[in-house]
Amino acid sequence: MEKLYCKGGGCTAKLGAGILSHILERLPKQNFDENLIIGFDAKDDAAVYKLTEDVAFVQTLDFFPPMVEDPYTFGQIAAANALSDIYAMGGEVKTALNIVCFPQNSDLNQLGEIMRGGLEKVKEAGGVLAGGHSIDDVDVKYGLSVTGVVNPKKIYSNNTGKPGDKLILTKKLGVGIICTAARIGETDEETLNEAIDSMKTLNKYACEISKKYNIHACTDITGFGFLGHLLEMMDNDKSCEIFASQIPVFEKAKALADEFLITAGGQRNRNHVGDNVEFDNIAFAMEEILFDPQTSGGLLLAVDKDEANLLVEELRKANMPAAIVGEIKEKENTTIKVVNK
């Protein structure tokens, strides 16, 4: 089967955060609905709508162009990425719908493979594929619209962390840089496969483990990069210190960043975060990785400081490269300080 044509896919294809918030801010306000617990005003990972005191549904969708050449793998990654937003809200996946853009005159077996990969991940998530919508388009794009459920009292918001909380990251950073380098033949198979395994991994397992602990806030790391999503988590009323040497990173991504195999998305993220971050003598490659757009990145959890070590230990036992990467502080002038700890 032919390979998919990739021209900078995955979450590197996302519109910049800056340009997006300016457009969203200009939309007219809607009528207030008290059951919409989390809507787009909140810049959270997914929308949450309360049905009863104990049940709310979580809705999200995500789709993008291929970031890898193998259609089946692309399907798995796109689905894992879309499903992730449900886990970032602390929810459980129930149903999913396919979103497909595909050139009708090209090899339709590829589309079959993409959808097979997606279906496999929906099943693994414990959900059921219930339908979809497809468009004849010049470029391939695929993703899912996902609905899950959550107890409204146990939602993981992204901005409700508390000063003193430890921040835990559950996947390695650097997949955007690795996929970009792979596209122009600048990285080896082994590195790419390691990144692919990470992107295919559902955040379901991290989410399930985290529910035994006092999680105050959670988000998943995707297109806006680690620092972009962290900035949303701080929500202008908290600051944090990030320990650069503790952050789980694909080693090869550092070498590639030093060769400037970096994305436009990463630079857009740097522009968006701007003066809100201060780097204390951090190597260039590490800065780039912290801005690197991630496809199907890990969860970033704000957890009660007394439970952080236990949670990391349990995540690691389940084979996740989790680590305590920082802590939330009271609001200071600079929102994010990255230090060499």
Q: Which of 289, 319, 94, 305 is nearest to 209 (CA)?
A: 319
Query: Interface with other proteins by CB under 8 A: which range of 51-59, 81-89, 187-195, 267-275?
Result: 267-275
Instruction: Please say whether the beta carbons of 218 and 88 come within 8 A.
Output: yes
Interface residue with other proteins among 30, 109, 236, 271 (CB under 8 A) is 271
Query: Interface with other proteins by CB under 8 A: which range of 55-63, 141-149, 210-218, 268-276?
Result: 268-276
Beta-strand ranges (E) seen in the chain are 36-38, 47-50, 56-64, 92-102, 128-136, 141-150, 166-169, 215-220, 239-243, 277-279, 299-303, 323-329, 336-339
Nearest distance from C-beta of residue 324 to other proteins, angstroms: 25
Q: By CB under 8 A, tell whether 283 contacts other proteins.
A: yes
Q: Which of 264, 101, 306 is nearest to 176 (CA)?
A: 264
Q: By CB under 8 A, tell whether 18 contacts other proteins.
A: yes
11 is catalytic: yes
Interface residue with other proteins among 28, 260, 319, 333 (CB under 8 A) is 260
Q: By CB under 8 A, tell whether 264 contacts other proteins.
A: yes
Q: Which of residues 80-109 bind other proteins (CB under 8 A)?
A: none
**Out of 6, 11, 218, 240, which one is annotated catalytic?**
11
Tokens describing residue 33: 């609905």
Which of 57, 226 has the CB closer to other proteins? Answer: 226
If one counts every other C-beta atom within 10 angstroms of the C-beta of residue 196, the result is 23
Which of 53, 275 has the CB closer to other proteins? Answer: 275
Interface residue with other proteins among 19, 51, 128, 130 (CB under 8 A) is 19
Q: Which of residues 155-214 bind other proteins (CB under 8 A)?
A: 180-181, 184, 186
How wide is the angle at C-alpha 120 spanned by C-alphas 57 and 174, nearest 5°?
Answer: 85
Which of 188, 258 has the CB closer to other proteins? Answer: 258
Phi then psi dihedrals of residue 199, to 5 deg: -70, -30
Element (DSSP H or E) covering residue 80 = helix 71-88
Nearest distance from C-beta of residue 261 to other proteins, angstroms: 5
Task: Specify burial of residue 172 (Cβ count, 10 A radius: 0-12, 13-18, 19+).
Answer: buried
Nearest distance from C-beta of residue 275 to other proteins, angstroms: 8
Tokens describing residue 275: 């003066």
Residues assigned a catalytic role: 11
Residues in contact with other proteins by CB under 8 A are: 7-8, 16, 18-19, 22, 180-181, 184, 186, 258-264, 267-268, 270-271, 274-275, 279, 281, 283-284, 287-288
